[in-house]
Homo-oligomer: A and B are copies of this chain.
Amino acid sequence: MIGDRFPEWLDQRARLTPDRMAIRCRETIWSYRDLDSRVRLAAGRLVEAGIEAGARVAVLAENSADLAVVIHAVPRAGAILVPLNTRLTIDELVWQLGDCEASLLIADEWQRTRAANAAAQAGLPAPLDLAALVAPGASSTAGDLRWVAADDVHTIIYTSGTTGRPKGAILTYGNHTWSAIGSALNLGLHAGDLWIAALPLFHVGGLSILIRAALYGIGVEIQRGFDPAAVNEAIDRGGTIVSVVAPMLERMLDVRGHRGWPPTLRCVLLGGGPAPADLLRRAVAAGLPVVQTYGLTEAASQVTTLAPEDAIRRLGTVGKALFPTEVRIIGPDGAPVPPGVEGEIAVRGRTVSPGYFRRSVERPDGWLRTGDVGRLDVDGYLTVLDRRDDLIVSGGENIYPAEVEAVLRQHPAVLDAGVVGAPDPHWGQRVVAFVVVAGEELPDLEAFCRARLAGYKTPRTFVQVEELPRNAAGKLLRSELRRRLAQGG
């Protein structure tokens, strides 16, 4: 019996439509035959290098066609893919490599030195050079179609936690497959679709584009970094869907000026946290088919997305659940609340991660409690009101205050610290730290943080205070800090 299994995406896709374009990246254009042949070769090299089934293989690289090969090759070799954020510091990388007990780190030329450093500190062998891993060679011929189990682990992606350290969210083949199916059932699937990936492929938002494309048999235009003019140019060259976060969309509109958008562009999928209403209106006025989505790493990207026909009518909401998922709002007593009432957003369904790597999961009823606050209207449209547990979202990156506070408290002069997000017209939010220090003057906390935290997590503003607001149980009241900020400090 087949059971809950299905063909591996790329393997089957290369058999069904080998001649369709799979990847475009600068001068590179690969068909699915080309991509699969490269993946087979790279996977073979990983197996030869002694990578065992289920081993965690971390990858630290900027967007490139070669990175797409590695993203498919690691699971093809039977290993679990751990994509690392290239903006992390060495300390952060070392911690994640240790937490997932990685067997190997693969790094591109831009990350080579940092990767070598991190691998050495984590007690790993020297990083494998990404370019060498995907270098041309004699590929083996395709064997039997590879079937994978829905429960097999495909990816571990670190997502910042409330306890000060990121957690490795496990995503299975089933999670990714149903996410891709759910997205197609909402956004449709057209012959000749070309999805522009300008988001980092190490994020679930970028990674999921590669997976969808293989399942759908459509092309991906991979962009190195984010250049608004380059994304606009890719749209003009026939890109039909593009995934963006609010600051990206804003810059794309800025550089576009008054030029219109081609009719081939059928969806601008806007994720990465609440978008300013002004930006939404501006995009719609410019004729962009913007569709808002609410996504989570723990749910393999999209949780809810507006249906295209509702994009304007329901502007500002993030739509309804994908087909294979269900969304509820939970009240303080843990029971669902009626429409219109605020509460915690909970999700269940085929896209929801079974848990965090090596951490027990308590989810007997299948509902993932997101910690985010929202409400459903009577028609079932979700509005996200506040991100989970004081989460700060800046330029599409999630930042947990607890992680930044823990670093600040490591400074010998810092007695206490509280971190919140302040509204930022461009990035959505920016990080602000309130600190209690020993002595009169503020030490150079920005340099201290920058050495230990990814740049996007580093506070832009430090506010010295006598003491931090805490409740009777000693719990930091970040809402009080946000209130003070709103009142001008």
Contact = CB atoms under 8 A, between A and B. Distances in A.
Given A307-B17, A326-B7, A326-B145, A1 B366 contact: yes
A472 interface: no
A332 to B, nearest CB: 21
A191 B150 CA distance: 29
B188 A349 contact: no
A12 B145 contact: no
A462 interface: no
A352 interface: yes
How many copies of the shown chain assemble into the complex? 2
A1 B354 contact: yes
A190 B366 CA distance: 32
Contacts of A326: 7, 145
A6 interface: yes
A323 B366 contact: no
A335 interface: no
Nearest to A354: B1
A485 interface: no
Given A2-B352, A16-B320, A380-B15, A188 B190 contact: yes
A307 B192 CA distance: 13
A321 interface: yes
Interface of A: 1-2, 4-7, 12-13, 15-17, 145, 150, 178, 181, 184-186, 188-191, 215-217, 307-309, 320-321, 323-324, 326, 348-350, 352, 354, 363, 366, 380
25 contacts: A2-B348, A2-B352, A2-B366, A5-B350, A6-B178, A6-B324, A6-B349, A6-B350, A7-B324, A7-B349, A13-B323, A15-B320, A15-B380, A16-B186, A17-B307, A17-B309, A185-B189, A185-B215, A185-B216, A185-B217, A188-B190, A190-B190, A191-B308, A191-B309, A215-B323
